[in-house]
Amino acid sequence: MTAQLAASAEYLPQAQSAVQSIDWLAVAPPTVTALVALGVLLADLFLPPARKALLGRLSVAGLALALLSLLPLLDGDREAFCLQGKAEVCSYTADRFTLVVQLLVLGGALLTALLSMTAIRDSKNPAGPGAAGAPAATRDPAATRDGAVTGDPATAGERSARGDAAAAAQPLPAGEFWFLLLCSAAGAALLPASRDLATLVVALEVASLPAFALVGLRRGEARSAEAALKFFLSSVTATAVTLLGVSFVYAATGSLFLTEIAEEVTHVDGQLQTLVETGVVLTLVGFAFKTAAAPFHFWVPDTYVGAPLPVAAYLSVVGKAVGFSGLILVTVLAFPSYGKDIWGPALAVLAALTMTVGNVAALRQGADRAFSAVRLLAWSSIGQAGYLLVPLAAAAYTDDGPRTIGSTLAYALMYAVVNLGAFAVAALLARTKPLARIADFRALYAARPVTALVFAFFLLCLAGLPPGIIGLFAKVTVFATAVDAGLGWLAVVMAANVVIALVYYLRWTALLFRSAEGAEGIEGAEGAEGVAGAGTGAAGAGAAAAGSGGGAGTGVAVGGSAGGVAVLPAPVPLKVAVGLTAVVGVVLSGAPQMVLRFADMGLFGG
Amino acid sequence: MQFLLALIVAGPLLGAAAALLPAPPGLKGKSPQQAVLRHGVLVTGVILLAAIVLALGFDHDHPSRIQASTDLSWIPALDVRLHLGVDGISLPLIVLTALLTFLCALHSYFKRPEGPAPQAFVALILVLESGTLATFAVLDLLLFFLAFEMVLIPMYFLIARWGGKDRGPAAWKFILYTLLGSVVMLLGLLLVGLDSGTFDMVALASDNGRSLSASVQVTAALAIGIGLAVKTPMWPLHTWLPDAHTAAPTVGSVLLAGVLLKMGTYGFVRVLLPIVPDGARTFAPYLAAFAVVGVLYGSLACLALVREGAGGDLKRLIAYSSVGHMGFVLLGIASMTPTGVNGALFANIAHGLITGLLFFLVGALKDRTGSTDLDALAKETGAALYGRAPRFGGLLAFGAVASLGLPGLAGFWGEMLAMFGAFDPAAGLHRGAFLTFTALAAFGTLLTAAYLLLVVRRVCMGAVPEKAPEFADVQGYEFAAWTPLVLLTVLAGLWPAVLLGLTDPAVHKLLAGGAS
C-alpha cells in the first residue's frame, strides 16, 4: 500500500528529497490492513491445511486493529504526502469524511470477515450445512467427512436442483480469500483519504481488482466464473473511461489534486471548455459504475448470485461505499463549479432512474425462484444506491455542498449496518437451505423467533418504517436534502419509490411470521433448525438486552419450544455478526443522532 | 404530569416488549395465551388510568395552554425534539384512545381473537396504542410523522393475520394507501420545517405561517393535506377504508374507526390550520367540496348496501358511513371558523364512541351468526333481534340512532356545529359556495337517517322465525366493554360543554395564531 502511495506521488513536479517524513498515524488504517494482508499471504504458505482457520482469526484481528487505529485520528485533521512548497495540497488527508468512510469500510469488511469464516469452513465440508438440517440419526461423522449427503432428502433434492454446481464446487481457498478480502479493504480504506485523481484511481482499482477474484473464487462453479467475468469486463471498461476522463481534466487544468483542479477549472481557456466538460462526465462514469447506478447496474444481480454470499454482502456495502466516496470527492471537491450545469442534473436523473429500476426489479422477484433472496437483496441495494445519490445531486444546488453530502454518509452508515445484518441472517439460513429462496424464510418466526424478529427489524429499517426508526430518519435526512435543494420532483420520485420498496420488504417480513406450509414433510429439518436457532436466539437476546431496552431486538422467549433433536448451535462468527448488527441497529434507533450528526456538520477539513 | 404523559406514550411500548417475553412465575395464569391477554388488559388499564388522572389533573381553566409538557433534545442533527404536551384539543383524543384500546383488550380477553398466537396480537395492539397516543401527544412535526408511521405495521399485521375474508389484499391496500399519503405528508412537513427553521409545532403555530411565503404555504398545505386526507379518509381517497374494515377483526375495526381515522382530522386541526393558514385557506373550498361529496357518497353507498338483495355487508356499511361522518368533520375544519372546528373535534370524539360501539356490536353479531351479510341476516322479514335478543337489538338501535345524529346523543352536536361553521365560513372564503355545501350536507343528514333506520328495520325488527337458531343476548363481558361507550355517548349528547369547554379556547388560540 505504501508502495502505491509512493507511486502516486511520483508525478509530483519537483524532485523531492529522497525521504519525505510521513505521518504514519494518519495513514495507519489502510496501511495496517495492507500489512495484515501480506502477513496472511505469507502465513498461508507455512500453515498446514488443518490450521488454515487461523488465517480467518488473523484477518478479523487485523481488521479490528485497523478500526482501532482510527481512534487516535479523532482529535483533528491530519495530512500526508503533501506537495513541497505547497503544504496545503496533499494526496492523503485524514479528515472527518475520511474517518467516517474508513469506519464504514473497515467495519463492513470486519463483518464480512465474520460471515466468511463460516462460509469457508462450510465450503471445505460440503455436507456440513446439509447435516445441520438432517435429522440427528443420519448425522454420521464419517459420512460428513466424506462429503456424502445421505439421509436428508430435502437437502439432497435441493442440491441436485442446483445442478452440478454445488456438488462439483471445490472449497474456497482460505489463504487467497483472506488476502484478497484484506487487499480490497485496504484499497477501500485508502480511497476516501485520497485527494488527487491518480491516488483515487489507484485506490479504486486496488479495491476492485481483488473483488473480481473474490467473486470468481468458487472454483469449478460455472455461475461464479461467469459472474466474475461479467463483473471484470464491465468494471474494466468503466475504469478505462474514468482514466480517459482524468486525462482530459489533467490536460485542461494541469493538476491532479482535487483542490487545485477546483480552482483551475474555473478559468480554463474557452477552447478547452468542452474538453473539461467531457472529462468531468467521463470521470463520473467509472464511479457511477461502482455504485451500480442505473444504466451501469446490470452486473449486480448476477454477480451477487454467483459470488459467495459474504462477498455479495461485501460488494453491496463496501463496494458501494467505495463508489460513493469517490463520487463525492470528485464532484464536491474537484468540480464544484460544474455542479449546477453538469453533474447536478446528471446525478439527479441517475438517482431517480437507479432507485426506480432497482425497486421495480426487486418487486418482480418471485419468491420461489432459486437464489431469490440474494437477488432481491441485490436489486434492493440498487434501489438504496438511488437514495444515496439524492444528497449528492442536491449538493450541486445548495450553497454548502460538502455539508449536504453528509446525509449520504449518514444513510450509508445505516444501510451498511442493516444490510450486512440482513446478509448475515441470509447466510445463517443458507447453511440449511442452500437455494436461498425467499420462500425458505417462511415461518422463520416459528423456528427461530429471535432471528426472525431481528431480520424483520433489518428489513423494516431498509424500508424505513418504525420500528426501524434509524431507517426512517435516515430517509428523512435524504428527503430533507432534496427538499432543501429545491429538487421537489426528485423527492416525489423517491416518495413513490419508498412505497414500492415497502411492498417487497413487507411481503418478505410478513412471510417470516406465516405458518409453515405442509408442515408434515419438512418437520425433521424444521425441528433441527429450531434447535439451531435457539442458540442464536439466546445470543441475540442476551446481546439485545445488554444493548438497549426498547425496539425490535427485544429479547424473546427462547429455547423451550424447540423439540427434542440434538442441539446444533449456529456458528459463533455468524451469531456475533447477527448480534452485532442487531445491537447497533437497535441502539441507533434509540439514538439516531449518532449517525445523523454527520448530516449536519462540515466533513472536509483543512 | 410530564411523567404521566411520558408514561402514557412509552408505557404501551414497554408493555408490547414485555408481551413477547414469557410470563414471569406467579403470573402464568391458566395458559400462556390467557396470561398474555391478561397482560394486555393490565397494561391498557394502567394507561387508561393514567389518562384519566391526566385529565383530572389538567388545568381546566386554561385548556388552551400546553400542559404536562416535556421538551428534550433527541436528534439535534434534524432538530427533532422529544416535545410532548396536551391541551384541550388533544386531551379528549388521548382519553378516547386509551379507553377504546382498554375496551378492546378487555373484549379480546374474554373473546380470544381467532388466528395465530395472542402474544403477537397483544404486542401489536399495544404498539398501535402507543403510536396513536404519541400522535396526539407530540408537538414536533417529525415526531408527529414518526408516530403517524408507527401505527402502519401493527395495523397491517392485525388485518393480515387476524382478519376475515380477503384480508391479504385489504391489508395491502391499507398500508400502501396510507404510506403513500404519509410520505407525501413528510415532504410537506419538511418543506415547512426547513423553510421556517424549526419543526416545533408550538413555535410554528404561534408564528402562524408568517415566516413562510405564500407559494411554500400552498405547496406544503397540498402535500400535508393529501397525507392527512388519505388517513381521514376524504373522498375520493377513501377506497382503502371499506376493504380494511370489512376484513379487519372486530378489535381492529374498532381501533381503526375509533382512533386511527382521528389521527388524520387531528392533523388537519393541529398542523394544517395553524401552521400554514394561507395554504389552508386556498384549499378550504376544495376540501369542503370533497367533504360534502364524501357525506353524500357515503350515505348513498350505504343506502345501496342496505337494499334488499344487494348482498350488503354490515361492516362495509358502517365503514362507508364513516366516510360520510368524516365528511362532516372535514366540512367543519374547512370552514376555518371556531364553531366549525369545534364541531369537527366534537364529531371526531362522537364518531369514535359511536362507531366503536357499532363495530363491537357487528363483531358480536358475526360471532353469533357467522355472517355480517345483511341479506343472510335479514332473510325475508328481518333479523328480528328485538324478539330474539332484546338487549342486543336495543343496543344496536341505540348505536344507529346515535350515529344518525339524534339530538340528545353525541352524534348531534358535532355535525350541527360543523354545518353552523360552514354556514358562516371564515373571512376570505366564498360564502355562496359554503352555503351550497351546507345545504348539501344537510341533505346528507337526511340520507344518513334513512339508511340507518333501514338498517334498524332490517336487523332489529321482523317476525321471529319458528325455529330460529339460538341467539345469545348480551354477555357480561360485552356489557362491560360497551357500557362505557353508551354512557359517554349519552353524556356528550346531554352535556356537550364537557368537551366544548375544553376544545373551544384551544381552537380559538390555534386559529388566532397563538394569541389566546
pLDDT band at B514 (very low <50, low <70, confident <90, very high): low
Question: How many CB contacts within 8 angstroms connect chain A with chain B?
Answer: 108
Q: Which of B14, B77, B175 comes nearest A599 by C-beta? A: B77
Least confident among A414-428, B152-166, B377-391? B377-391
What percent of chain B has a predicted confidence (pLDDT) above 90?
Answer: 36
The kind and range of the H/E element at B516 are none
Domain that holds residue A480: 340-606
**Could you tell me if A438 and A477 are in contact, meaning their C-beta atoms sit under 8 angstroms apart?**
no
- Rounded to an integer, what distance in angstroms lies between the CA atom of residue B91 and that of residue B70? 15
pLDDT band at A148 (very low <50, low <70, confident <90, very high): very low
Closest Cβ–Cβ partner in B20, B176, B186 for A503: B176
By Cβ distance, the residue of A491, A592, A597 closest to B187 is A491
pLDDT confidence tier of residue A599, bands split at 50, 70 and 90: confident
Outline where B237-389 has alpha helix (H).
240-247, 250-255, 261-267, 273-275, 277-306, 314-335, 338-369, 374-378, 385-388
Q: Is the pLDDT of residue B319 over 50?
A: yes
Q: Tell me: pLDDT of B286 over 90.
A: yes
Residue of A491, A262, A320, A473 lying closest to A391 (CA atoms): A491
Give the least confident one: A219-233, B128-142, B401-415. Answer: A219-233
Q: What is the pLDDT of residues B148-194, one digit of tens each?
A: 889 888 999 888 888 887 888 889 889 888 888 988 999 999 999 88
User: CB contact, 8 Å: A500 with chain B?
Assistant: no
Q: Is omega for the bond preceding A141 within 30 degrees of 0, making it cis?
A: no
* pLDDT tens, position by position, A319-351: 889 888 998 998 888 888 887 888 888 899 999
Residue A306: which pLDDT band, with cuts at 50, 70 and 90? confident
- B244-272 confidence digits (pLDDT tens): 988 888 889 999 988 999 999 999 999 99
Number of domains in chain A: 1
pLDDT recorded at residue B511? 85
- For B201, B303, B397, B403, the CA distances from B400, given in Å and listed in that order, are 38, 14, 5, 5
Q: Which three cell numbers stand for residue A444?
A: 422463520
Residues 6+ apart with CB under 8 A from A520: none
pLDDT, tens only, A191-246: 999 988 999 999 998 998 898 888 887 766 777 787 788 888 888 888 889 899 99
Three-point CA angle B259, B265, B267, nearest 5°: 105
- Residue A213: C-alpha distances to residues A377, A462, A487 (Å): 21, 29, 40
Largest CA distance in chain B: 72
Contacts of B200 (CB under 8 A, 6+ apart): B81, B83, B139, B140, B141
CB A166 within 8 A of CB A220: no
Contact A554 B180 (CB under 8 A): no
Query: Is pLDDT above 80 for B11?
Result: yes
Residue A165, pLDDT score: 41
| % residues pLDDT > 70 (chain A) | 80
Q: Do B187 and A498 touch (CB under 8 A)?
A: no
Q: Model confidence over A463-486: pLDDT tens digits?
A: 988 888 899 999 999 998 998 888
Residue A169 confidence (pLDDT): 54
Q: What angle do CA A315, A310, A127 make, to 5 degrees?
A: 150
Average pLDDT, stretch A96-103? 91
Strands B80-86 and B67-75: antiparallel
CA atoms within a 13 Å half-sphere pointing along the CA-CB vector of B40 = 32
Nearest chain B Cα to A466, which residue? B150
Q: CB distance A599–B78 less than 8 Å?
A: yes
Question: Would you call A79 helix, strand, or coil by DSSP?
Answer: strand
Find chain A residues with C-beta within 8 A of B20's C-beta.
554, 556-557
Residue pLDDT, tens place only, A527-571: 333 333 333 333 333 333 333 333 333 333 333 333 333 334 678
Give the torsion sign (CA, A516, A522, A524, A525): negative
Across the range A282-294, mean pLDDT stands at: 81
Q: State the average pLDDT over residues B478-495.
A: 90
The reply to whether residue B76 touches residue A469, judged by beta carbons under 8 angstroms, is: no
- Do the Cβ atoms of A166 and A156 come closer than 8 Å? no
Closest-CA residue to B175 (of A506, A387, A462): A506
Q: Rounded mean pLDDT of chain A?
A: 78
Quick one: pLDDT at residue A1? 45
Rounded to an integer, the average pLDDT of A53-62 is 90
Overall average pLDDT of the A369-385 stretch: 87
| Residue A222, domain member (yes or no) | no
Q: Which helix (H) or strand (E) holds A567?
A: none
- Any idea which residue has 425467499 for its cell? A438
- In chain A, residues 43-82 whose CB comes closer than 8 Å to chain B: none
Q: Which of A156-165, A474-483, A512-521 has maximum average pLDDT?
A: A474-483
Cβ–Cβ below 8 Å for B157 and A597: no
Nearest to residue B345, comparing CAs of B90, B60, B144?
B90
In DSSP terms, B200 is beta-bridged to B140
Backbone angles phi, psi at A396, to 5 degrees: -70, -25
Q: Encode burial over A540-555: b for 16+ CB neighbours within 10 A, e otherwise.
A: bbebbeebbebbbbbb
Which residues face B373 on adjacent strands? B313
Q: A437 in a domain, yes or no? A: yes
The three three-digit cell numbers of residue A7, written as one number: 507511486
C-alpha cell belonging to residue B246: 370489512
Q: Answer yes or no: is A27 within a domain.
A: no
pLDDT at A303 over 60: yes
ipTM of the complex as predicted:
0.89
Quick one: pLDDT at residue A455? 92
For B470-480, what is each residue's pLDDT tens digit? 777 778 888 88
pLDDT at B445: 92
Cβ atoms of A476 and B142 within 8 Å: the answer is yes
- For chain B, what are the domain ranges? 2-511
pLDDT of residue A150: 38
Residue B210 vs residue A167, higher pLDDT? B210
Put simply, the answer to whether B77 touches A597 (Cβ < 8 Å) is yes
In Å, how far from its chain's centre is CA B31?
Answer: 33
CB B84 within 8 A of CB B49: no
- B interface mutation test: which of A398, A454, A465, A498 has the most B CBs within 10 A? A465
List residues of B whose CB lies inside 8 A of any A CB: 13-14, 17, 20-22, 74-78, 80, 116, 120, 127, 131, 142, 145-146, 149-150, 152-153, 156-157, 160-161, 172, 175-176, 179-180, 183-184, 186-187, 190-191, 194, 219
In a domain, A58, yes or no: no
The answer to whether residue A477 neighbours chain B at the CB level (below 8 Å) is yes
Written as nine digits, the cell of B43 is 397494561
- What confidence tier does A429 reach under pLDDT thresholds 50, 70, 90? confident
Q: Are B264 and B232 in contact (CB under 8 A)?
A: yes
B153 vs A467: CB contact, 8 Å cut-off? Answer: yes
**Nearest CB to B153; choose among A466, A488, A555:** A466
- Taking residues A3-21, what's their average pLDDT? 52
Residue A5 has pLDDT above 70, yes or no: no
Q: Quick one: which of B97, B68, B98, B95 has its CA closest to B84?
A: B68
Looking at chain B, which residue has its C-alpha nearest residue A600? B77
**Under an 8 A CB cutoff, do B176 and A484 touch?**
no
Burial of B139 (0-12, 13-18, 19+ CB in 10 A): buried
Residues 400-429 of chain A whose Cβ lies under 8 A from any Cβ of chain B:
410
| Cis before B425? omega within 30 | no
CA distance B449 to A585: 53
> Phi, psi at residue B313, to the nearest 5°?
-100, 135
Read off the pLDDT band of A87 (50, 70, 90): confident
User: Helix, strand, or coil here: B200?
Assistant: strand
pLDDT at A569: 67
In this prediction, residues B197-223 reach a mean pLDDT of: 87
Give the DSSP H or E segment for A86. none
User: From residue A606, how far is each of A95, A96, A335, B119 by CA, in Å?
Assistant: 8, 10, 18, 56
Residues of B in contact with A593 (CB under 8 A): 74-77
In a domain, A445, yes or no: yes
C-beta of residue A330 within 8 angstroms of C-beta of residue A258: yes
Confidence band of A130 (pLDDT split at 50, 70, 90): very low
Residue B94, pLDDT score: 92
DSSP class per residue in A25-66: TTTHHHHHHHHHHHHHHHHHHHS-GGGTHHHHHHHHHHHHHH
CA atoms within a 13 Å half-sphere pointing along the CA-CB vector of B332: 29
For residue A94, the SS3 value is: strand
Residue type, B173: K
Predicted confidence band of residue A247 (pLDDT cuts 50, 70, 90): very high
How far apart are alpha carbons B376 and B51 in whole angstroms?
42
**Does A314 reside within a domain?**
no
d(CA B55, CA B498): 12
Q: Does A250 touch chain B (CB under 8 A)?
A: no
